[in-house]
Structure 1
Amino acid sequence: MRLKLLAAIGLAATLYSCDDTTTGIGDFVADTDEITASAQTFEATTKTLKYTDLNPNGVFSRTSNAYLGKFTDPDFGTYTTDFITQINCTEDFEFPETMQDIVSTTLELSYSSFFGDSLAPMRVRVDMLNREIDDDGEDLGLYYTSYNPEDFYNKNEEALAEQDYAVRDNSWTKEEIDSIKKANGYYPPLVIDLDKARKAKGEETFSAFLKRKYNEDKKNFKDSYSFIHNVLPGFYVHNTSGEGSILYIGAIWLRMKVSYLIESSSGKVDSLVYTSIPFAATNEVYMSTRLSNSGDNLEKLAAETHNTYLKTPAGLCTEVKLPLKEMYEALGNDTLNSVSMAFTKYKNISENSANNPYKMGTPKNLLLIRKSEVNDFFEQKQNYDSKTSFLGTYSSTTNSYSFSQVNRLISQIFSDMRTKEEPAEGWDEYNTLVLIPVKTETDSQGNTIGLSHDLEVNSAKLVGGEDGEKIKMEVIYTKPKFNK
């Protein structure tokens, strides 16, 4: 269906405000006074994909955050998450020269937010890895969410620690929790005692183990590589019972309480004091989250054909099929000044979600990218460029995600196609894009400097589907009259 713009002034304003880098298909010299601008509407088709349709290993999860918990949703089923983390040791670290003992050691998980029931009883288990993981960037499989933790620890060995917890720690008052959250952005941490289980059995505690390794050779603590290879390969942290909450963990600390001697008022080094020494999980060492979604629910939702879904983390995304053959035949020799499209969200996923007390959030940002380029984009830490990849932000005003510069990608595809009679691998080589929920990383000026998969619990139901409403693609293009 062709839509002619009715007013020349309005047309010109629209044309030159759409895209300041419009791309032509052929090289020409145009008389700008004789440019004829038009608009036309095409229709794209969408369907739901499981993330495993993009990559059987799940999603690439190389982030500085970890996630822990289990939650069952009436629409999307059961979702579980746990993680492996290493602990960094600062360069040339040394304990106080007069250290007497490592009195206690805890693993602290600081979470900035959570999803689900804050009072749900949960149980966490901490296992020490039985081999080191060298994060040299060569094995990208380490960062996909379906990795097998049993490759790195022995599930038949006794746990280093197990502990019950709930998101809301009742040892703190609401006023204290609010004050702590306001001060540093985190709730009171989940503190796991790493000595308790072995102390109760009369075995060497984890603190005693650390002290022994240090006394055997101080070089074991000289840097993160030595610490990971000679002392502590890392931890696997996972739930063993309970469900109802997911922790969004932003900081992980191995905290040692150490006693040592200082000089007393008598001049002798005989006064015992205590200090806390933290080792952190940082970007310099390995950390990766494992995610699991119950398959049956996702299969049923992906099979629906009158709408599409987004579900994070590692659940569902939306495929977009562009009518490029039709567009190329109609506009292949024209200049595409703007191609805009919007994806509208339903208010609720279902009646279940409308009545669910634990409502999932709405994905804030969507990446629109060619399906064939998804894996490289995340593995190579690329940023969207508004040329081959595009970022759309949810608008509560329009209840949709909008993209207005897709002409840049389509124009480049048309330029490539001019050298081919027919795409070697069929039109799907060009036609197929996907919408993927992402988190943005920004600099101090608010500029987006990186994207990663959204690993929080979010969802959306979108207008579309193979048998549902088509997605309108509004195209503004020009047919210049060549100078003679």
Structure 2
Amino acid sequence: MRICSILRGALVSSLLVFAACDDNTSNLGVEVMPDGDFTISTQTDYPVNITSFAVDSILARTTTAYLGKFTDPYTNTVFESDFLTEFYCPEDFKFPDKSLLADPENPEARSVELNLYYSSYFGDSLAAQKLAVHELTRVLEADESYYTNLDPTQYYDVNQAPVQEQAYTAIDMIHGDSLFASNGVHMLTIPLPKSFGDRLFKAYYEHPEYYKNSEEFIRNVFKGFYLKHTQGDGSVLNINYVYLDVYFDYKVKSSTGQVDSLVTAFSQFRATPEIVQENRFSMKNIDQLIAQNNDVAYIMTPAGVFPEVELPIDEISLNDTINAASLTIYRKNNLNASKYQMGTPQELLMIPKSELGSFFEEQKVPDNITSYYTTLSNNQYTYSNITNLVNTLRRQRRDNPDYDKDPDWNKVVLVPITRVTQTTSSNTVITVRVLHDLSLNFAKLKKEDIKLSIIYSKYQDSK
């Protein structure tokens, strides 16, 4: 049923700015009133308190892996990242028949390498860095929720030497990185010991059932790698694809029709959304950043600082009907002369502070009831109608004598996000998934003149 309110009175034209019709009556934000006329009583602006809320971790799972370290001279914060990943094995995977191998009695790989493909990076392209590749000793379980402060030492043997170590730069001038720059993709190749490839190759011929799917492969053959940043500062790679390539020789038919020609081929195991890939983030000097300036609130991603907003529900009328509620937060320009500038968060999700973990773990999307998102526009973040949230908190205050026992009952957190969207047949764009924004972003928000604007509608008897 489509419901619209008929507005009368001298201020009807003003009210039309704020009133709306909606097929979904739960989103009207107007409480039930007796029959009669509505009229605007007032618009009241309530001061809002906004602070910087330091977070030590966020949900880690993503299709992008981050590797490297960057110290920002403007904020003096230090960001470091590495990642753990499993590898996908296609169902009913097969290597060549054993009889086709160069030495059927002793299957061995020709070589093996780990390839990291990335289309972007942050920082100095020639900053010298170093990584270590450790083999995992414990399975990353697909049904667990991993956060970016996970302890990698729980997943590999710290007393075991790494499988490989390698120095690198974001753009490899020595090995011809420019070959990949033409299509916007860079590649970092890490040669691994042949013995590691031999192990994977031989395991197939001894236990082919271990290669029937990813779960069997991961549990019985190879649990994955931890790629650890070990040295250097200045750049962070945004890795899109991780491939493990195993090269081997086998026989094919020659021009004579005999199976006697030896060729080299390779099989590829990839890090894909079907398996688990987790980032480990570390952000230092966050507390010092927050303490040095009380005039602004900060946003820093991927795991650093979110703005915390305390909504002034105690100041709001309990009796008048709320017709509209809005909140605008202003970004302050950075006077930052450093060479490498972090990006600015484009989309901010507003959720109750108590739901910071569960919202992402349960893969929720904004419902415009207790969760909302907005996009940066004209240097400000505007939540144009959070009436449902304000009414929900107001009812809690009115109906629950112990409403304020929880110190965070009226607090929301603004979380930088990226949305996964889908376009319907009617060309409507809907949000199907919300993820943490894991790029290096920074913003300052003004604390002064932040107001929660409430438009009240008061019942006026028509007699």
Shared fold, TM over 0.5:
yes
SS at match of 1:11: helix
Normalised TM-score (structure 2):
0.89
TM-score normalised per structure 1: 0.85
Give a deviation string over 1:158-194, Cα, whole Å, max 9, x none.
211111211112257686444221xxxxx22211111
- Kindly indicate whether residue 277 of structure 2 is the aligned counterpart of residue 298 of structure 1: no
Contact 1:22–1:336 (CA<8 Å) still a contact in 2? no
CA apart distance, 1:360: 0.4
* Distance in 2, Cα, partners of 1:105 & 1:441: 35
Aligned residue number for residue 120 of structure 1: 127
The worse-fitting range, judged by mean Cα deviation, of 13-22 and 362-371 is: 13-22
Say whether residues 1:455 and 2:438 are aligned partners: yes
Q: Distance in 2 between matches of 1:421 and 1:214?
A: 66
Q: Provide the rounded CA distance (Å) in 2 between the counterparts of 1:16 and 1:113.
A: 45
Q: Secondary structure at the match of 2:392?
A: helix
Q: Which residue is equivalent to 1:3?
A: none
Shift of 1:312: 0.7
Q: Residue by residue, what CA displacement relative to the aligned partner does 1:265-319 show, whole Å, maximum 9, x if unpaired?
A: 212111122223211112222211111111x343342463211101111111111
Select the residue among 393, 405, 411 that pairs with 2:385.
405
- Residue 312 of structure 1 corresponds to which residue in structure 2? 301
1:226 partner letter: E
Give yes or no for contact 1:42–1:473 (8 Å, CA) kept in 2. Answer: yes
Is the Cα contact below 8 Å between 2:286 and 2:304 reproduced in 1? no
Residues 429 and 125 from structure 1, CA distance in 2 versus in 1: closer, same or farther, beyond 3 angstroms? closer
Q: Provide closer, same or farther for how the CA distance between residues 109 and 175 of structure 1 changes in structure 2, counting only shifts above 3 A.
A: closer
1:372 alignment partner, SS class: helix
Distance of 2:307 and 2:282 partners within structure 1: 19
2:207 corresponds to: 217
Counterpart residue identity of residue 372, structure 1: S
CA distance in 1, matches of 2:235, 2:222: 29
SS in 2 for 1:248: strand
- Give 1:132 deviation, angstroms: 2.4
**Equivalent in the alignment of 1:55:** none
Measured against aligned partners, the alpha-carbon deviations of 1:395-420 in whole angstroms (never above 9, x if no partner) come to 1xx21111112111011222333323
Per the alignment, do residues 457 and 478 of structure 1 end up closer, same or farther by CA in structure 2, a change over 3 Å counting?
same
- 2: CA distance, partners of 1:7 / 1:170: 73
**CA pair 420-483 structure 1, distance change in 2 beyond 3 A:** farther
Point out where structure 1 has 5 or more consecutive residues left out of the alignment.
1-5, 53-57, 182-186, 200-204
**Quick one: which of 328, 336, 339 aligns to 1:342?**
328
Superposition deviation, residue 95 in structure 1: 0.7
Alignment partner, residue 68 of structure 2: 69
Do 2:11 and 2:39's aligned partners in 1 also have CA atoms closer than 8 Å?
no
1:361 deviates by 0.4
- What is the aligned partner in structure 2 of residue 184 from structure 1? none
Per the TM alignment, residue 483 of structure 1 is displaced from its structure 2 partner at its CA by 5.9
User: Which string of whole-angstrom CA distances, capped at 9 and with x for unpartnered residues, describes residues 100-129 of structure 1?
Assistant: 453221111111211111111111111111
- 1-structure distance, mates of 2:421, 2:266: 33
**Residue in 2 aligned with 1:109?**
116
Kept in 1, the 8 Å contact 2:331–2:445? The answer is yes
Check conservation: 1:49, 1:302, Cα contact below 8 A: no
Identity among equivalent pairs (%) = 34
Give the corresponding residue for 2:375: 393
CA offsets 1:337-370 (integer angstroms, 9 cap, x no match): 221111111110xx5xx11000000011111111
Secondary structure of the residue aligned to 2:210 is helix
Aligned residue type for 1:29? P
RMSD over aligned CA atoms reads: 2.2
Alpha carbons 2:177, 2:186 under 8 Å: kept: no
CA–CA distance in structure 2, aligned partners of residues 302 and 378 of structure 1: 29
Match of 1:363 among 336, 341, 345: 345
Distance 1:175 1:320 in 2: 47
1:162 matched to 2:165? The reply is yes
Match of 1:435, SS state, is strand
Distance 1:302 1:224 in 2: 48
Say how many residue pairs are matched: 440
Q: Which residue of 2 aligns with 1:95?
A: 95
Q: Tell me if the contact between 1:66 and 1:249 (Cα under 8 Å) persists in the aligned partners.
A: yes
2 CA distance for matches of 1:375 and 1:277? 39
Q: Which moved more, 1:11-20 or 1:313-322?
A: 11-20
Is the alpha carbon distance of 1:422 and 1:159 closer, same or farther for their aligned partners in structure 2, counting shifts above 3 Å? closer
The 1-side partners of 2:174 and 2:419 are apart by 35
Query: Which residue is equivalent to 2:3?
Result: none
Task: Classify the secondary structure of the residue corresponding to 2:183.
Answer: helix
Q: Report the CA distance shift for 1:210/1:444 in structure 2 as closer, same or farther (over 3 A).
A: farther
